[in-house]
Amino acid sequence: MLSPSSDVAGIIDHLGTLRSEENIAGMGRFGIVTDAALGISNPDLQKIAHVVKRDHARALDLWNTGIREARMVAIYTADPKALTSAEAHSWADDFASWEIVDAAADLFTEAPFWQDLIAEFAEDEREFVRRTAFAMIAGASVHLKKEPDATLIGCLRLIEQHSTDPRNFVKKAVNWALRNIGKRNVTCHKPALALAQKLAESNDKTARWIGKDALKELSGEKVMRRLKV
């Protein structure tokens, strides 16, 4: 039975009992890398993480197994206050699937050096590492409610800078970040909407798609009504 004292071997053994070939096939259809997957849903993995509790050293060892589910549990049980920049970069070196990236982005955003990671990851040419930067911006816009709006507005520069990256997992994250900044509040909405309008008129196909899609949501009735714009 799992408990906060469970070690890596015990957690891996338990995960093995939950393997589902049907779920593995389904994950593949959603673009999730399944080479080392057991087919366990994220809600079930979150329940496991809730039982075994936070343990940063164990999380690092779980990550090193390379198993998808072990890595998700690692993300859910790592301590963002104990996380080092070197550890975050080491994990990023292994990124090869959007769902791992997006989950890790939430963890990284809780680290005290999260803004440095965004800048560093955005400049990285690897698709999933760059995606991490914009997934972090998207998450920070929603979850870091005490963060000054100026911090998120400052991220619009990175969004514009990388709006011409045509790779699927980058452009979708750039779009996501722009939309989330714009939906944060009235203060953030105005500059985000202005950038969306600018990108929508771009000669670049990718930037134009990002801008038009963001513009549609940020100028939509639902957002305008919620923000009372």
pLDDT values of the chain reduced to their tens digit, one per residue, 229 residues = 999 999 999 999 999 999 999 999 999 888 888 899 999 999 999 999 999 999 999 999 999 999 999 999 999 999 999 999 999 999 999 999 999 999 999 999 999 999 999 999 999 999 999 999 999 999 999 999 999 999 999 999 999 999 999 999 999 999 999 999 999 999 999 999 999 999 999 999 999 999 999 999 999 999 999 998 8
Domain map (residue ranges) of the chain: 1-79, 84-229
Output DSSP code: residue 147: S
Q: Tokens 């936070």 sit at which residue?
A: 54
Query: What's the maximum distance between 2 C-alpha atoms anywhere in the chain?
Result: 58
Distances (CA, A) of 174 to 18, 134, 213: 35, 6, 11
Distance of CA 89 to the CA centre of its chain: 14
**How far apart, in whole angstroms, are the C-alpha atoms of residue 208 and residue 173?**
15
**How far apart, in whole angstroms, are the C-alpha atoms of residue 59 and residue 76?**
8
Could you tell me which CATH class the domain 84-229 is placed in? Answer: mainly alpha
